[in-house]
Amino acid sequence: MSKRKIGRRDMLKTTAVVGAGFAAPMVFVPRAYAYTNEPKGATVTLGFNVPQTGAYADEGADELRAYELAAEHINGEGDGGMLNTFSSKALKGNGINGKQVIYVTGDTQTKADAARASAKRMIEKDGAVMITGGSSSSTAIAVQGLCQEAGVIFMAGLTHSNDTTGKDKRANGFRHFFNTEMSGAALGPVLKNAFGSDRVAYHLTADYTWGWSQEGSIKKYTEQLGWQTYETVRTPLGAGDFSQYITPVLTSGADVLVLNHYGRDMVNSLTQAVQFGLRDKQVNGKDFAIVVPLYSRLMAQGAGENVKGIFGSTNWHWSLQDEGSKAFVRSFGQKYGFPPSQAAHTCYCQAILYADACERAGTFRPSVVGPALEGFKFDGLGNGPTEYRASDHQCFKDVLVVKGKEAPTSKFDVLEVVEVTPRAQVEYPAEMLGGELGPYNDGTA
């Protein structure tokens, strides 16, 4: 992969499609730097590693759009977006530490081995000083571990499993997106108010770290409310046809279906569940309910009318009216012609937050940049007051509970925010999710 300057066409040209099956241990080649890939010239290279193929490709495409926009704003191009509303004023529109941002990209394919291989290539061959991206917790955890080994910072994209900043957290890794523990804490009271405390739930769950984490969190918070869990069934990522998993729900006696699916899998499973008549069914004297714990505008748009009235949670939504959100939606919309997704939002934020930390630290060295993020409190990036907690590198902020809109005004206006759950309700002790950050790694000297 070659380094490129900013540009939509260049972004597409720099894409590296890396095959799966790279199971061999990663070995990094020493370089004559004070730290891994210390920038020596007038530019600094960032690596954008997202799913460009597979079940989460729609999210990945929006992430790349956001990264391109963030790079433009950091370099002083465009209208500045959320740099105009961001509480930190360290960035001046002249790159990072006086160096213009260029970038390379990779395709994670939503596969851990492919994600690690593309990240390794960007670090070793292209000199990326930071890796960011992902729309899957399995790939995020894999790449986070690799960045720890390589001595570069990893700014996680869309990853929702507790494990990313729980048992698999690393000093070199940081997450802006919320997690399944927060989704459960936010959704529980809303589900009780909507459906009562006497419910029987049937879970269909994506069979990887995020699905397991999401299933566990929703079970935890709904069972505390009095719900029973009838069954939990694991489904393969990218299954496409979920009819064999939905059919048993019809005669199970459960009156709630929880779809722990994301991306195209959620679109397909929800659409098929509605086609099977579940939304119009009555069980145990109650109207049958469907819950999608993690929503995105892209998923809701793909599922169309099937999302009407269905609850879930989200990290951000383009309809928010704070100044940061409005600035981001305006910039993104002017460039691409439609509103951004939550995946785009969190990835834009991560690029800005990394650049800001480097600017405040005066270096790209991980062991100095990381502490600039630890305990960092900020506002103006669309989520209200936010803190990057030092003890686990997890951002804490308010969480949105949404549901499918009954009367959308456009094809993008498919979700409505029904509750903004305050940070205090979703925060938990860092030790609850386990893991150790360990020391920072600056890489080869």
pLDDT at position 33, please? 61
- Helices 342-361 and 366-373: crossing angle in degrees, nearest 10, is 120
Helix, strand, coil in percent for the chain, rounding step 5:
40, 20, 40
More confident residue, 222 or 26: 222
pLDDT at position 237, please? 87
pLDDT at position 14, please? 34
- Helices 209-224 and 137-150: crossing angle in degrees, nearest 10, is 120
pLDDT greater than 90 at residue 444:
no
| pLDDT, tens digit, 9 for 90 and up, residues 409-433 | 998 999 999 999 999 999 999 999 9
Q: Are 370 and 153 in contact (CB under 8 A)?
A: yes
Residue with tokens 């690799």: 146
Q: Are strands 100-107 and 43-50 parallel, antiparallel or unpaired?
A: parallel
Q: What is the residue-averaged pLDDT of the chain? A: 91
- With bands split at pLDDT 50, 70 and 90, how would you rate the model's confidence at 8? very low
Q: Which two tokens stand for residue 329?
A: 């939606």
| CA-CA-CA-CA torsion sign (298, 317, 339, 112) | negative
> What average pLDDT does range 255-274 have in this prediction?
95
| pLDDT, tens digit, 9 for 90 and up, residues 189-224 | 999 999 999 999 999 999 999 999 999 999 999 999
More confident residue, 279 or 362: 362
CB atoms within 10 A of CB 191: 26
Distance CA 314, CA 419 (A): 11
| pLDDT, tens digit, 9 for 90 and up, residues 327-360 | 999 999 999 999 999 999 999 999 999 999 999 9
Residue with tokens 């095959």: 19
Nearest alpha-carbon partner for 172 in 421, 335, 21, 369: 369
Distance CA 68, CA 397 (A): 25
Q: Are 12 and 69 in contact (CB under 8 A)?
A: no
pLDDT at position 24, please? 38
pLDDT at position 23, please? 38
Looking at residue 165, the DSSP 8-state letter turns out to be G
Residue with tokens 């729980």: 166
pLDDT greater than 50 at residue 26:
no
Q: Are strands 399-404 and 415-421 parallel, antiparallel or unpaired?
A: antiparallel
pLDDT at position 238, please? 85
Q: Percent of the chain at pLDDT above 70?
A: 92
Q: Which parts of 276-364 fold into alpha helices (H)?
A: 297-303, 323-336, 342-361
Distance CA 258, CA 236 (A): 16
Nearest alpha-carbon partner for 119 in 93, 90, 155: 155
Nearest alpha-carbon partner for 45 in 99, 110, 97, 83: 99
Residue with tokens 């890939």: 37
> Considering the domain 43-178+318-397 in this protein, what is its CATH number?
3.40.50.2300
pLDDT at position 31, please? 47
Nearest alpha-carbon partner for 307 in 187, 416, 196: 416
Q: What residues are paired with 174 via a beta bridge?
A: 155
Distance CA 433, CA 429 (A): 8
Q: Which two tokens stand for residue 176?
A: 């802006």
Nearest alpha-carbon partner for 315 in 161, 139, 183: 183
Q: Using alpha carbons only, how large is the chain's radius of gyration in Å?
A: 21
pLDDT at position 296, please? 86
> What average pLDDT does range 127-141 have in this prediction?
93
Q: Are 297 and 88 in contact (CB under 8 A)?
A: no
Q: Are 102 and 3 in contact (CB under 8 A)?
A: yes
Residue span(s) of the chain under CATH 3.40.50.2300 come to 43-178+318-397, 181-314
Residue with tokens 């399995």: 138
Nearest alpha-carbon partner for 443 in 169, 50, 127, 40: 127
pLDDT greater than 60 at residue 139:
yes
Q: Are 171 and 439 in contact (CB under 8 A)?
A: yes
Residues 181-314: name the CATH superfamily.
Response regulator (3.40.50.2300)
Dihedral, 106, 111, 115, 117 alpha carbons, nearest 10: -100
Residue 163 identity:
D
pLDDT at position 132, please? 97
| pLDDT, tens digit, 9 for 90 and up, residues 78-114 | 999 999 999 999 999 999 999 999 999 999 998 999 9
Nearest alpha-carbon partner for 187 in 315, 295, 311, 289: 311
Q: Percent of the chain at pLDDT above 90?
A: 84
pLDDT greater than 70 at residue 180:
yes
More confident residue, 10 or 164: 164
